[in-house]
Amino acid sequence: MKHPAVSSIILFEDENLIIVNKPPFITSEQENEPGSQSLLDILKKYDSTVRLCHRLDKETSGAIIGAKNDATYREISMKFQNKEIQKNYHAIIVGEREYNDNEINLPISKQGSYKAFIDKRDGKKAITFVTTVEPFKHYTLIVAKPETGRFHQIRIHLASIGAPLMGDELYGGEPFFLSSVKRKYKTGKYADEQAVFTRAALHSHSVTFEYKGQELSVIAPYPKDFEAVLKLLRKYDKLPEMTKAQ
């Protein structure tokens, strides 16, 4: 019998592998939070053999790969180690930016258990490629392709070039308020404006790798909050069309 909470997020499944669309605000695995439920906890109620082959941050949504047996777990782990799995992340960053496969090559160290920082002396090699997908007046939707898998890599890399993620307060981003893009926006007489988007705007959009002799490419649809903020940006923060030369 399928577990309904899992059935709604499955992107791909066979006898060896399961790829799901992780919701935001849930840890990948249990992290000493009494009473909380991780993605792995939910998956194990569906299939007790599942092991996650990698992790996403608690706030990050999107495609995550799980294995149903030891052989598949080893196979996927080796693919990650050999950089044979292409991961594409979509992110909304602060500012109108134009990137075309720009390389960010900055070494990273981990500060305790909660934050990363650029460390050119002792940091581990970290490379991310960034391309603009859709620019707005005050924000930009981008695709980020990490070649390495360092802690908070995309978040700290983007912040380090002055383009933090929307909502990523840990690295200099701010929550999104509609008043920041909608002219003459007014709240109710006795109400303070509430942020529309409060998490780091990062989504694991796709994973691509060779599986059973063929290329397997799986795309994870945006969660509701990510889709909603993009609709607001397209409505209220759209760039003016360039005037055509006469």
Q: Per residue in 145-178, pLDDT tens?
A: 999 999 999 999 999 999 999 999 999 999 999 9
pLDDT at 243: 39
| Cβ 188 vs Cβ 114: under 8 Å | no
Domain boundaries, the chain: 1-82, 86-238
pLDDT over 70 at 47, yes or no: yes
For the cut 50, the answer to whether the pLDDT of residue 244 exceeds it is: no
Q: What is the pLDDT of residue 241?
A: 77
- Residues serving a catalytic function are 57
Amino acid at 220: A
- CATH homologous superfamily of domain 86-238? Pseudouridine synthase (3.30.2350.10)
- How far is residue 90 CA from its own chain's centroid? 6
Degrees to nearest 5, angle at CA 145 with 69 and 217? 45
Give the pLDDT confidence score for residue 219 in this predicted structure: 98
| Domain over 1-82 is classified CATH 3.30.2350.10 | yes
CA distance 161 to 93: 11
180-213 pLDDT tens trace: 898 877 766 656 888 999 999 999 999 999 999 9
Q: What pLDDT was estimated at residue 34?
A: 65
One fold for both 1-82 and 86-238? yes
Task: Determine phi and psi for 80, rounding to 5 degrees.
Answer: -65, -45
Q: Are 53 and 65 in contact (CB under 8 A)?
A: yes
